[in-house]
Each structure stands twice: as C-alpha cells, then as structure tokens.
Amino acid sequence: MSLNQIVNMTRYPLDTLDLRKSCKETLDKTGALVLHDFLQPDTIDAIRAEGETSQHLAYFTDSNHNVYLQPADPNLPDDHPRNRQVVSSKGCITTDQIPSGSKLSQLYHDQTFQQFLCSVLDIEALYEYADPLSSINLHYAREGQELGWHFDNSSFAITLLIEAPAEGGSFEYVKNLRNADDGDMNFDGVEHVLDGKLAPQTLELQPGTLSLFRGQNSMHRVTPVIGNRARMLAVLAYNTRAGIALSESARKTFYGRLS
C-alpha cells in the first residue's frame, strides 16, 4: 500500500524539503507540531475499528506518581513539588497486538515517513524497539481516566489521535518549565502548575491529527475523559540507536508482561 493511501500527502507532501523545513521551525519554536487531517479518513476508520476490536486485550493501569516520574525523595516533605502525587490511568495494547497488515504498522515502518520525522526532529535515524511490545502502542482512556502532570524521560513523543471522547481528554502543557540537562527542576514553577496558579496551553487535536511534542522539559497532562466514548491515541515510539529495548520493569508496569 502506498503512503498516500494512508497519509493526506496532498496537504502534507512528506518528501518535500519545504514542508520538512517549516515543520522543523515550528517544533523548534514552540516545542509542539500539530498536523491536522494528517491521516486519510479511511485510515482513521480502519485504525479505530482495529482498536475497538482489540480493546478487550488492553492492559489497564491506575498509578500514582510525581511529575518527574522518579522515586520519592525521603529528604523532602510529601507536599514538596518533587514528591507530590498525581494520578495516571489508561489502557494499552502493544506492538504484538497490532494486526500485521494494519495501516498503523505500515505508517510506522514507512521510510518516507521516518525520513520526514528525522528531518523535523534533527536526528540521523530512527529505530524500532528491540522488544516486541514498545514500538507501537494504542492507548485507551475511558470515562474518568486521565494522564497526570509529568515530564517525559524521552526527548520527543509522536502520537496520532484516533478517537476523541465526548468531552474532556484535553492535552495541556506548560512549555519549557524546567531544564533537565542543566539539572534545573524548577520546583516553584511546578508547584504553581499543580496549584492552578499557572495556566497551561492546550493542543487542539482531532481524530487524524499527528503531533510531535518535546515533553522532556515541558510539563503536560491529559485531563479526565468525560462520557462513554473512550479516547483512543496511537503512540509511535522510536529510538535514535538500534537494539534498544524498554526496561523489563517498565514493560511490567506499563504492559503487565515482558513479551
């Protein structure tokens, strides 16, 4: 199947230097790139149908964590921004549960798509995960489920919204709230966000939207879903080096199994 049967190549000619340059400039300036109507309507319908068929396989988790996704610091009080707990809850199906002929899998492995991502992210190459679970995930958030405030461990995230809930499920973020490379955790800024004193920005996403987000230094969350229609999000995860697997502890936590 050709890429233009999956992606709206008329609007987004991924193989052109002009598009790659403009997308890179947007991502570098704002920390987020949002491409609406990226997927062809038939592609959205097909991935949504696959997701609904496979939803019963999803592993659901409900966990408490701090925004830094690190163990608590016993030298600091529980109410310190470093230790304050938020809630994340979602379901997930893994790479091995995505049909081999899925348009989602075809897009993930397409060379033109990967070359576009490399240009925008300013990296040399992308590699799939060495383990069988982590490369392509489909996330489900049912009514009341949310993704709590946090910073990402990875430098970038690539997602496709497949189904929007009736209400809620909004992606909110505060750009460049910390500088992890310099060890600046900005506890005061984090506290202001957690206390609602610093208003976040919202990424407007609709089904078929591709988003690239630099979340290592930008604090972000997904608000609780409202209504009986689950939010469905595809996460395309790559590494910048070959042969890397998600740790066993992370796989056990996120997927409930190792293989």
Concatenating the DSSP letter of every residue in 94-144 gives -GGGS-TT-HHHHHHH-HHHHHHHHHHHT-S--B--SSSSSSEEEEEE-TT
Residue 246 reports pLDDT greater than 90: no
DSSP 10-67: TT--TT-HHHHHHHHHHHHHHSEEEETT-B-HHHHHHHHHHHHHHGGGPEEEEEEE-T
Q: What is the pLDDT of residues 49-82, one digit of tens each?
A: 999 999 999 999 998 999 999 999 999 999 999 9
Share of the chain above pLDDT 70, in %: 100
Distance CA 213, CA 232 (A): 17
Residue 88 reports pLDDT greater than 90: yes
pLDDT on residue 247: 87
Query: Measured at the alpha carbon of residue 171, what is the angle toward residues 31 and 166, in degrees to the nearest 5?
Result: 150
CATH number for the domain harbouring residue 83: 2.60.120.620
Quick check: 47 and 234 in contact, CB under 8 A? yes
Place of tokens 């995960």: 129
What the block records as the tokens of 103 is 């348009």
Task: pLDDT band for 229, please (50, 70, 90 cuts).
Answer: very high
Q: What is the pLDDT of residues 141-178, one digit of tens each?
A: 999 999 999 999 888 999 999 999 999 999 999 999 99
Quick check: 250 and 136 in contact, CB under 8 A? no
Residue 250 reports pLDDT greater than 90: no
Among residues 158, 163, 161, the alpha carbon closest in space to that of 142 is found at 163
Query: At a CB cut-off of 8 Å and minimum separation 6, what does 118 contact?
Result: 124, 125, 126
Query: Domain span at residue 40?
Result: 3-255
Quick check: 234 and 38 in contact, CB under 8 A? no
In angstroms, what CA-CA distances link 223 with 137, 147, 171, 197?
20, 7, 7, 17
Distance CA 64, CA 86 (A): 5
Distance CA 88, CA 85 (A): 10
In angstroms, what CA-CA distances link 200 with 54, 173, 175, 194?
34, 5, 8, 11
What the block records as the tokens of 176 is 């460049």
State the total domains in the chain: 1
pTM summary value: 0.95
